[in-house]
Amino acid sequence: MAQPAVAYTDESLVGTSINLTNCDREPIHIPGLIQPYGFMLGLDEHTKRVVQASANTETLLGMAAESLLGAGLDVLLGPDKLAEIEAIWPTLTEVARLVGARLDGVAERPFYKLVLHRYDHLLWVEGEAVDESSVSSFDLPVLNLTLGRLLTATTTLEMGQVAVEQVRELTGYDRVALYRFAEDGSGYVMAETLRADLPPWLGMHYPATDIPQQARAMYLKNWLRFIANANYVPVPLVPALNPSTGRPPDMTYSVLRSVSPIHLEYLRNMGTAASMVISLIRDGELWGMITCHHQTPRLVSYELRDLCQFLAKAMSALLNTKEQHDELEYRQRIRRVQGQLFAQMNAQQNFIEGLYRQPTTLLDVISCGGVAICLEDEIICLGQTPTKYQIGNLVAWLRNQPRQEIFATSSYATLNPVGLSMRATASGVLAAALSPELGEYLLWFRPEQVQSVTWAGRHEKNQTTVDGQIFLSPRQSFEAWKQTVEHTATPWRPLELEAAQEIRRHVTEVRLRIFNELQAKAAGLARLNLELERSNDELDSFAYVASHDLKEPLRGIHNYSVFLLEDYADRLDTDGVSKLQTLVRLSQRMEALIESLLQLARVGRLELTVEPIDLTEVVAGVVEMLQPRIEQTNTTVALAGPLPTFRADRVRLSGIFNNLLTNAMRYNEQADKQIVIGLAPADVRSPRGTGNPADYYVFFVRDNGIGIAPKHHENIFKIFKRLHAQDKYGGGAGAGLAIAKKMVEKHEGELWVDSVYGQGATFYFSISKHL
């Protein structure tokens, strides 16, 4: 570190080079130097005599510093102004007072602004020359408008933008930015206004080491630091030490105090020739700064600087209110998004889809880089997340930790070394446990800060050498910052943890409600199935008993009707004979209906007798049994190919083919009736599409008969449902297909038809391969 041009030094820094540690120890409050755009006098607070003066008084005032030592202000001021200032001395504190004065003791009698303050047992008088024709830049309407805009700004960001725009308008700097400190001491540019041809700094981050601790302490005491020309040559005090204390005076509250050569080098690295920094202080802590930069030297009047400081103090006073509003607005946004998310979940048949498949997703609730939904053995990712394999490892790690509903860390890698590979997307992890035993979590991720910020100066060289001395550069500062925050994400805020807890609670409640509803439905279905089973058993029993009980009197009616026809036909007239014949016919039909009902009841009641069967043999047996009818109707029955051998009930399977073949011959008006039996292709499925096709054999019986209109494809399988009059197509009870369907269902299959009226019909039925 280059030593200041004074006799006093910090012994701890002698002989050392600049680094990030000793930079914090630089005694910047006692430089013994000032900036050359003004002069400084230090007066003993008791005698009111000059004990120290800046070495440039001869240049600015025509009086050598040595000649001023021991003198009073009467060598510069006339009696009236001197009396005015002497009246100020008793009430003077470290807070600066501005006095405009003509220096009557100076040959050319220039007009100066004198800035007065009391500190470290000295009365400080600092002078800045002013053109005599200049007027005050204080503009009350502009100030009133600016304060109004600061007050009405709804957010901290909006207020900050108003502040930087107003400061730039007042001062004319090339760039004015609002610099906001983070919790780790680093900072970022939060708001900015600049000359159109300059590159923006908005959003850029700077490490804590760029503003050493003692500089931050100075900014808390002295709200404004002004540099008119970053290339200035510092002016020493004469003498360097206060004669009464034997040490350099504390220049904390000095306007002209020279700044650290390290800071000047930093400004030059940034391309800044003039700067002004105004503190923003909240609750006694440095919250941020308004920083002004100009590419060429720029001298801003003290009045304008003081007005900018007033605006910064006004903004500081409003910070708590604006930040509370920001917090409230973020909380309200979270609640609004949560409400939308919860509504989506409640509206979806599968509530999980409400978390990620709708306009509002889990990613929108909390400020983060990505989310993962780990539910029901599935991992659903949104945004920038680790891989599913890495998420699986994270879930396994969470399950081994002490159980807690909400887990949050800003540095997962410090807890689990595996997290190093995830730091680019998940240095920060927020986890809401839904069912840890099953590995079910909602996860939010934040990337490592090193990955997520734009870092100012990170590509600059490591050091700058001036006159053999090494100075810091932004690149060095970045590397130091990186060491302190590597593997670390922006911390999770309390309201974000609350939001995660509310979402966890709601998801748990939805799942519990669904579980209870399913339990109730399951219990209801169980009762319903029991009742249906009992009803079916009772119906089957009733059909079986009723058919037997009805057959006895029906046979009597049929037999006595036949006897009457045989024995008394010659005594009856034609009408009487006809009525007896009708009675015989109706009793026969009634018996057929009862027999069909009895057969259907038997199918429902009897269990299958499953055995390996060769379907070709079964079909051959049915064709042989129906051979007289086949010949009578001139029907040809053919096989479309070989038929398989499988396990089934031989009798029931014969009944299925018997019914289908009989119907194929009955409902056919062709002279040459054709029936084809075969195994359907593997892609043929029932209209309902139930089951896995690989688990079933599907067979067909195809005819060239009258066909069936599509609107009747369901009705034909209902018992006693006929599509034609009783006297057409050979009568029949209308129960054959209902019985066949029941037989197929006993084989865990389905029976359906594919037909168009007038173009024949193809009946398909499936048989399970796993009987």
Question: Residue 730 domain-assigned?
Answer: yes
- pLDDT the model gives residue 743: 84
Q: What 8-state DSSP symbol labels residue 199?
A: P
Question: Residue 5 domain-assigned?
Answer: no
Residue 78 and residue 187 share a domain: no
Question: Residue 13 domain-assigned?
Answer: no
**In CATH, what number is assigned to the domain containing residue 692?**
3.30.565.10
Give yes or no for a contact between 198 and 175, defined as CB atoms under 8 angstroms apart.
yes
Residue 176 and residue 100 share a domain: no
Question: Residue 351 domain-assigned?
Answer: no
Task: Give me the amino acid identity at 402.
Answer: P
**Structure tokens given for 578:** 């006809």
- pLDDT the model gives residue 574: 81
Question: Residue 357 domain-assigned?
Answer: no
d(CA 764, CA 113): 108
Residue 42 and residue 99 share a domain: yes
Question: Residue 18 domain-assigned?
Answer: no
Run of H or E residues at 195: none
d(CA 64, CA 43): 16
HSE-CB at 549 with a 13 A cutoff on CA atoms is: 6
Question: Residue 726 domain-assigned?
Answer: yes
**In CATH, what number is assigned to the domain containing residue 306?**
3.30.450.40
758: alpha, beta or left, given left = phi > 0 and alpha = psi -120 to 50?
Answer: left
Give yes or no for a contact between 767 and 744, defined as CB atoms under 8 angstroms apart.
yes
Q: What 8-state DSSP symbol labels residue 387?
A: -
Strands 97-102 and 274-282: unpaired
Residue 405 and residue 287 share a domain: no
- pLDDT the model gives residue 589: 57
pLDDT digit string, tens, across residues 707-744: 888 887 887 776 545 554 444 554 444 567 887 888 88
Residue 38 and residue 153 share a domain: no
Which of 606, 632, 647 is at the close of a domain? 606
Q: Which one, of 237, 255, 235, lies nearest residue 69 by Cα?
A: 237
Q: What are the strands, taking DSSP E only, across 182-269?
A: 187-194, 204-206, 224-227, 235-238
Residue 622 and residue 582 share a domain: no
Q: C-alpha angle 656/662/668, rounded to 5°? A: 135
Q: What is the DSSP string of 536-590?
A: HHHHHHHHHHHHHHHHHHHHHHHHHHHHHHHHHGGGS-HHHHHHHHHHHHHHHHH
Q: Would you call 286 helix, strand, or coil by DSSP?
A: strand
HSE-CB at 474 with a 13 A cutoff on CA atoms is: 17
- pLDDT the model gives residue 11: 29
Q: Would you call 203 helix, strand, or coil by DSSP?
A: coil
**In CATH, what number is assigned to the domain containing residue 594?**
1.10.287
d(CA 647, CA 696): 12
R_g (Cα) of the chain, nearest Å: 50
Neighbours of 131 (CB within 10 A): 9
Residue 279 and residue 424 share a domain: no
Q: Is 681 exposed, middle or buried (0-12, 13-18, 19+ CB in 10 A)?
A: exposed
| φ, ψ of residue 745 in degrees (nearest 5) | -65, -30
Q: Would you call 527 helix, strand, or coil by DSSP?
A: helix
Task: Give me the amino acid identity at 605.
Answer: R
What are the C-alpha distances in Å from 765 to residues 202, 601, 680, 762? 73, 21, 9, 10
Can you list the residues of the chain whose pLDDT is less than 70? 1-30, 109, 131-140, 450-486, 529, 532-533, 535-552, 554, 585-606, 689-691, 718-735
Residue 738 and residue 594 share a domain: no
Residue 586 and residue 530 share a domain: yes
Give the chain's domain count.
5
Q: What is the DSSP string of 42-60?
A: EEETTT--EEEEETTHHHH
180 beta partners? 188, 288
Residue 704 and residue 643 share a domain: yes
Place of tokens 């120290």: 52
The residue segments making up the domain with residue 413 are 367-490
Where b means 16+ CB within 10 Å and e means fewer, 625-639 reads: ebeeebeebebebee
Give yes or no for a contact between 639 and 677, defined as CB atoms under 8 angstroms apart.
yes
- pLDDT the model gives residue 530: 74
- pLDDT the model gives residue 763: 94
Which of 437, 466, 490 is at the close of a domain? 490
**In CATH, what number is assigned to the domain containing residue 68?**
3.30.450.20
Give yes or no for a contact between 432 and 496, defined as CB atoms under 8 angstroms apart.
no
d(CA 73, CA 103): 10
| φ, ψ of residue 573 in degrees (nearest 5) | -80, 180
d(CA 753, CA 735): 16
285 beta partners? 282
Place of tokens 């003081």: 306
Question: Residue 101 domain-assigned?
Answer: yes
Residue 635 and residue 499 share a domain: no
- pLDDT the model gives residue 26: 53
**Structure tokens given for 353:** 């889809």
Cis link prior to 79 (omega < 30° from 0)? Answer: no
Residue 594 and residue 513 share a domain: yes
**In CATH, what number is assigned to the domain containing residue 438?**
3.30.450.270
d(CA 555, CA 595): 12
Which of 70, 98, 130 is at the close of a domain? 130
